[in-house]
Structure 1
Amino acid sequence: MNRRVHDAVAAGYNSGSGIIADKNREVAQHLAERLRPRPGPLAVADLGVGDGAMLAQLAALGLPLEMTGLDVSAAMLRLAQARIPLKAVHAPAQRAREVLPAAAFDAVLAHFILAYVDRHTLLAQARDLLAPGGVLSLVTTTEEGGGPFFEGLDRFFLTSRNPLKRAMGRLCERGIAQSHVPKSYASLEAEIRVAGLVVLRRDTMRQHITFENAEDAYRFGIEEGWAANFLAMPGVPVRAAQALARWGTRQATYPFSFTQVIEMLEIGVAPTGSATEDGG
């Protein structure tokens, strides 16, 4: 995870509409149902707290929460602290177990951070942080539905006769290679089982997205952070990487459409002989 990149994303982060807002509403409702029977106060840790919108959504449902927000970005933590009362921890999610107490949390949230955090590392640390009977709320995109994006990357960049476009394509491939987003739910679920965890509930959201122009693509990918890995170029200032990304979005043909597939999972520690419960 790159602090410079995530501080830059904080400037344009949008949790008030679109995918993040829709996800927050749906996940909060289901998670509140699971947590409500537990005696309060409920200790909740968000391992990529962002601007605090997810925790705020949970708190608005009347849950008695003791909230901890961890983030690699100091700018994001300032946004979260301005929104809700929480204990702010400035650290990457990969170090969560070093900076947070073991077996202490009724819920651990890990939403949209697999682009930056190794899946095995995240699952192992989350398991250590959960109190008995606690739940990991894991939300991630997958590569399912991304065919148009990969086709566009090949058509507009990788096979272009323009050497600058081909170089841009290789930079995009590098960003993709750095991501830990799973190819599919099936591959993720297998890793969850290996980690000694079990899926308690699964809901899948499919969002059809259309970019009408290059500005739409840049806003989504860079300002809102969905392709923030692209900005983490060694030795390249974030502003220079942003300028290059803006140039790159202008090379595609619009409108451009694809489907974003989001898996929203509630995960617990697997007891012997357990069976999963599929909510969607």
Structure 2
Amino acid sequence: MSQRAHDAVAAGYNSGSGIIADKNRAVAAQLGERLRLRAGPLAAADLGVGDGAMLAQLAALGLPLTMTGLDVSPAMLRLAADRVPLKTVHAPAQRAREVLPAAAFDVVLAHFILAYVDRHALLAQARELLAPGGVLSLVTTTEEGGGPFFEGLDRFFLKSRNPLKRAMGRLCQRGIAQSHVPQSFASLEADIQAAGLVVLRRDTMRQHITFNNADEAYRFGIDEGWAANFLTTPGVPVRAGKALARWGTRQATYPFSFTHVIEMLEIGMAPSSTNRHTERAGSLDAKGIA
């Protein structure tokens, strides 16, 4: 996602309730159990820190954390720095290894950033950042519950007789094509294994969502950022993109319902990769992981 789009999302980002808050609580509870088994101070890096809410959840557990937050958006980094004590790094997740030290982090967080970060690049970056025995916390939606949305896109826009609606449908398709959200857990797991990593724990959260009107759909998709790729259309200012999105949400019929399927994964080094990684890490002490 471009900086301008992500800065725009920062203004309406909602981590206090809804999907993000539920996810943060669930991940913190499970991940905290694993991190408590590691000795000494813990280093955490969040590759899409947003407003810092996930790191704040971990810090609230009383873990001895040194925290680094990376984000493409200066506006988000300011929100995070206001919330928790951390080192902020202005960079996209796909450049994390260029700006963060290798084999230095007990936990790497990558939550809801696959919409705009290539999966293979992200996994490669995270793999290089993990300390021996460290864990990648990867959270992503999948396309599993997206049937109603794709059907609505086809019915309301792509097959419309109105050329403006068809153009809107193509813009939506472009935003979807930019996303790296996996079709399913199975496709994501294959990428994880190909990167020399292994899933240590999997939890799936399904949230049924209903929009009763266009304002609710717009707030979810644009203000809260779930469809913010729409705002990255080349040559279209963010303000104009928001106006188009506002018009587009008014073309659907309501109520409109779908299921948000979210995979919450703890990922570690595959055994053969761990040996090679430890050799590269040199003098860093290995720490046990459950």
TM-score, normalised by the number of residues in structure 2: 0.94
Residue in 1 that maps onto 2:154: 154
Separation in structure 1 between the aligned mates of residue 273 and residue 7 of structure 2, nearest angstrom: 44
CA deviation profile, 1:41-68 (whole Å, cap 9, x unmatched):
1000000000000000000011110000
CA deviation profile, 1:171-203 (whole Å, cap 9, x unmatched):
000000000000000000011001000000000
Alpha-carbon offset, residue 39 of structure 1: 1.5
Separation in structure 2 between the aligned mates of residue 42 and residue 213 of structure 1, nearest angstrom: 45
Pairs within 5 Å for 1:4-153: 4-153=4-153
CA deviation profile, 1:111-160 (whole Å, cap 9, x unmatched):
00000000000000000000000000000000001100000000000000
Q: What amino acid maps onto 1:112 in structure 2? A: F
Alpha-carbon offset, residue 40 of structure 1: 2.4
Separation in structure 2 between the aligned mates of residue 43 and residue 249 of structure 1, nearest angstrom: 42
Separation in structure 1 between the aligned mates of residue 220 and residue 162 of structure 2, nearest angstrom: 25
Q: What amino acid maps onto 1:77 in structure 2? A: L
Separation in structure 1 between the aligned mates of residue 257 and residue 203 of structure 2, nearest angstrom: 23
Alpha-carbon offset, residue 272 of structure 1: 3.8
Residue in 2 that maps onto 1:222: 222
Residue in 2 that maps onto 1:172: 172
Separation in structure 1 between the aligned mates of residue 175 and residue 146 of structure 2, nearest angstrom: 15
Separation in structure 2 between the aligned mates of residue 59 and residue 227 of structure 1, nearest angstrom: 29
Stretches of structure 1 that go unaligned for 5 or more consecutive residues are 275-280
Separation in structure 2 between the aligned mates of residue 56 and residue 273 of structure 1, nearest angstrom: 31
CA deviation profile, 1:75-124 (whole Å, cap 9, x unmatched):
00000000000000000001000000000000000000000000000000
Q: What amino acid maps onto 2:252 in structure 1? A: A
Conservation of the 8 A alpha-carbon contact between 2:221 and 2:228: yes
Separation in structure 2 between the aligned mates of residue 217 and residue 7 of structure 1, nearest angstrom: 20
Conservation of the 8 A alpha-carbon contact between 1:103 and 1:132: yes
Conservation of the 8 A alpha-carbon contact between 2:9 and 2:224: yes
Alpha-carbon offset, residue 236 of structure 1: 1.0
Separation in structure 2 between the aligned mates of residue 94 and residue 247 of structure 1, nearest angstrom: 33
Moved over 6 A (4+): none
Residue in 2 that maps onto 1:278: none
Q: Alignment RMSD, CA only?
A: 1.0
Conservation of the 8 A alpha-carbon contact between 2:120 and 2:195: yes
Query: Secondary structure, in 3 states, of the residue corresponding to 1:33?
Result: helix
Q: What amino acid maps onto 1:142 in structure 2? A: T
Alpha-carbon offset, residue 164 of structure 1: 0.3
Query: Secondary structure, in 3 states, of the residue corresponding to 1:266?
Result: strand
Q: What amino acid maps onto 1:214 in structure 2? A: A
CA deviation profile, 1:187-230 (whole Å, cap 9, x unmatched):
00011001000000000000000000000000000000000000
Residue in 1 that maps onto 2:287: none
Separation in structure 2 between the aligned mates of residue 249 and residue 232 of structure 1, nearest angstrom: 17
Conservation of the 8 A alpha-carbon contact between 2:40 and 2:64: yes
Q: What amino acid maps onto 2:45 in structure 1? A: A
Stretches of structure 2 that go unaligned for 5 or more consecutive residues are 275-290
Query: Secondary structure, in 3 states, of the residue corresponding to 2:12?
Result: coil
Q: What amino acid maps onto 1:14 in structure 2? A: N
Alpha-carbon offset, residue 273 of structure 1: 11
Separation in structure 1 between the aligned mates of residue 133 and residue 108 of structure 2, nearest angstrom: 12
Conservation of the 8 A alpha-carbon contact between 1:138 and 1:264: yes
Conservation of the 8 A alpha-carbon contact between 1:40 and 1:65: no
Is residue 208 of structure 1 aligned with residue 177 of structure 2?
no
Alpha-carbon offset, residue 235 of structure 1: 1.1
Query: Secondary structure, in 3 states, of the residue corresponding to 1:243?
Result: helix
Separation in structure 1 between the aligned mates of residue 149 and residue 174 of structure 2, nearest angstrom: 15
Identity %: 86
Separation in structure 2 between the aligned mates of residue 28 and residue 258 of structure 1, nearest angstrom: 26
Residue in 1 that maps onto 2:260: 260
